[in-house]
Structure 1
Amino acid sequence: MNNQPAEPFFLDASPGKRFCLYHPPGKGVPLSQAFIYIHPFAEEMNKSRRMAALQARVFAAMGFGVLQIDLYGCGDSEGDFGDATWEIWKGDIAHARLWLIQQGFASIHFWGLRLGALLALDYAKNEEAEDDPVKFVLWQPVGNGKSFLTQFLRLKLVSKLMSDDTDKATNVQDFREKLGVGEALEIAGYTLSSAMAAAIDALKLGQLIVKNSEVYWFEITPDTGRGLSPASTSIVETWSQSGICPKVLLMPGLPFWATQEISECHELLAATTKAVESSFGVQP
């Protein structure tokens, strides 16, 4: 790949500034289409940085601009994670999109991983419909925010059981009750506010339907031949009934956003690249 160097910068947002990494398309390529990458939640962001960088470079080599943004309170952006809200994060996407438009890109697509996929959809579904379909590349989208939050809270439960913590909470429901009365929780090095917990809890992928959109859903499975889970199949059916027929692609691989060591899934990179080549009108 003959890529131009990625360009780091801080984007004015509200509140504060966001750290961004812009991957320009190859020299001489017109500024036509671009992706905004929306990273996953908490430590999943750090675990997936390498995969995001690899795919971003491929997209840039194909002729796309790619903007990776650290959301408020995440990565190298200003703010504290515990002060972030779902609405601030949606605002971050709006600022990122506006910046790409100001650079001259005509079509802005969204590429989200895990909870970042839901954030992208939730942002876009409230925007005014455009003439051209909005395109989404969704990597392993979270199906249900409540289940996701429960899994995150279990990290605190495990930590508590392995320490001398005198907190009387003994199960996930105890933590939920604390959040419900406005308390914040420290979980795996991140402060989870009650407002953020409530926002995540309410998310359901099946309800995040963006009219006039094209969805490319990529799912990693533990082994070859395993199909989409019943819950995900139900979501696809719900979307299809609303006129959105996602293209779902399954491939075996490691859940790189959750592995102990930094890992890669080349099958996902290859499948994503092939799908975008054939469907987005940009050739390498």
Structure 2
Amino acid sequence: MRREAFFLPSTVGQRLVLLYSPEPAEKLRGAVVYVHPFGEELNKSRRMAALQARAMASAGYMVLQIDLLGCGDSSGDFGDATWEAWLADVKLASAWLQERTTAALWLWGLRSGCLLVNEAAHRMQGPVNLLFWQPVVSGKQFLQQFLRLKVASEMLASDGKGVMERLRGQLRQGEAIEIAGYLLAPALAQGLEQADLLLPHRSGRVEWIEISGRADASLSLAATARLTQWQAAGQEARGTAVSGPAFWQTTEISECPALLEASLRALSEEVPA
């Protein structure tokens, strides 16, 4: 397995990418683009993303991880990010891989990254396989939860009345909001709010994996409902639940070995139907 770090030129600045490649003698089994989650969840999940990318490369997959606009070591600040710019970044990474291999393409997202890869798959030509890690199914609900961080901090300093409506009013008026150290631009908030995990019409397979803190891990009701709907529509989609910590939000950086194993099985179609 080889690992390289370099920048991809974009229409706005450049994007840092990490490329994990199998040894040259190995047969390439697939090409994978990883799309990270939102805000602080990105930092919490870097360890798990790196472990999975290495495992995939060792199993014969080429994996490209990209820092989206305003995130990590890519160009711009978080306040410069828009939903459309992030979708363009996913397309940029995917095109770069597809220019170098004809292997089956996988888009792998974590949390809100699943909303991005799903929407990107709608816009791409040809089949795209999707690997979802603990997907956010509603961008509107996710944005609401993020805004509550600001509400909570302001309630400590005042009576907190009408804080949420005031924040939404600022966004509607084109004003950016600072939340937990991140400057949220109206264009990013609007795109996130409109995003939903809809039926991925043009994809190949969908592998949905959730993490549970319980030993007898099972899929959430939301996952079961969404997968059942997609399967009824003819989409090849499967769900898996594994036990482990919610590493994207734990205080300490944590790992979930069961998730790494389940993901490799999912890509190789060894997960029971």
- Note the 1:14-25 alignment, pairs <5 A: 14-25=11-22
C-alpha distance 61-151 of structure 1, shift in aligned 2 (>3 A): same
Mapped partners of 1:179, 1:150: distance in 2? 13
* Alignment check: 8 A CA contact 1:211 1:244 kept: no
Q: Quick check: 1:157 aligned with 2:151?
A: yes
Counterpart of 1:74 (choices 71, 76, 87) is 71
Mapped partners of 1:67, 1:113: distance in 2? 14
Letter in 1 for 2:254: S
C-alpha distance 184-212 of structure 1, shift in aligned 2 (>3 A): closer
Letter in 1 for 2:7: F
Deviations 1:88-120 (A, max 9, x none): 111111111121123234322111101111100
Mapped partners of 1:99, 1:192: distance in 2? 29
Q: Could you say what secondary structure the match of 1:256 adopts?
A: coil
Map of 2:139 onto structure 1: 145
- Structure 2: gaps (5+ residues): none
Q: Quick check: 1:85 aligned with 2:82?
A: yes
Mapped partners of 1:74, 1:172: distance in 2? 26
Q: Could you say what secondary structure the match of 1:255 adopts?
A: coil
Map of 1:264 onto structure 2: 255
Map of 1:274 onto structure 2: 265
Letter in 1 for 2:222: A
Deviation at 1:175, TM superposition (A): 1.7
* Alignment check: 8 A CA contact 2:44 2:248 kept: yes
Q: Could you say what secondary structure the match of 1:48 adopts?
A: helix
Map of 1:196 onto structure 2: 188
Normalised to the residue count of structure 2, the TM-score between the two structures is: 0.92
Mapped partners of 2:174, 2:160: distance in 1? 17
Map of 2:171 onto structure 1: 179
Mapped partners of 2:63, 2:182: distance in 1? 27
Q: Could you say what secondary structure the match of 1:186 adopts?
A: strand
Deviation at 1:30, TM superposition (A): 4.1
Normalised to the residue count of structure 1, the TM-score between the two structures is: 0.89
Q: Could you say what secondary structure the match of 2:99 adopts?
A: helix
Matched-pair identity in %: 44
Deviations 1:180-237 (A, max 9, x none): 22211101111111111111111121x2423342000000123133533332222122
* Alignment check: 8 A CA contact 1:134 1:212 kept: yes
Q: Quick check: 1:106 aligned with 2:100?
A: no
* Alignment check: 8 A CA contact 1:254 1:264 kept: yes
* Alignment check: 8 A CA contact 1:186 1:192 kept: yes
Q: Quick check: 1:136 aligned with 2:133?
A: no
Deviation at 1:278, TM superposition (A): 3.5
Map of 1:119 onto structure 2: 116
Mapped partners of 2:103, 2:214: distance in 1? 39
Larger CA deviation: 94-103 vs 59-68: 94-103
Mapped partners of 1:224, 1:60: distance in 2? 29
C-alpha distance 31-252 of structure 1, shift in aligned 2 (>3 A): closer
Letter in 2 for 1:24: S
| Aligned residue pairs, count | 271
Instruction: Please tell me the root mean square deviation across aligned C-alpha atoms, in Å.
Output: 2.0
Letter in 2 for 1:150: Q
Q: Could you say what secondary structure the match of 2:132 adopts?
A: strand
- Structure 1: gaps (5+ residues): none
* Alignment check: 8 A CA contact 1:145 1:202 kept: yes
* Alignment check: 8 A CA contact 2:79 2:182 kept: yes
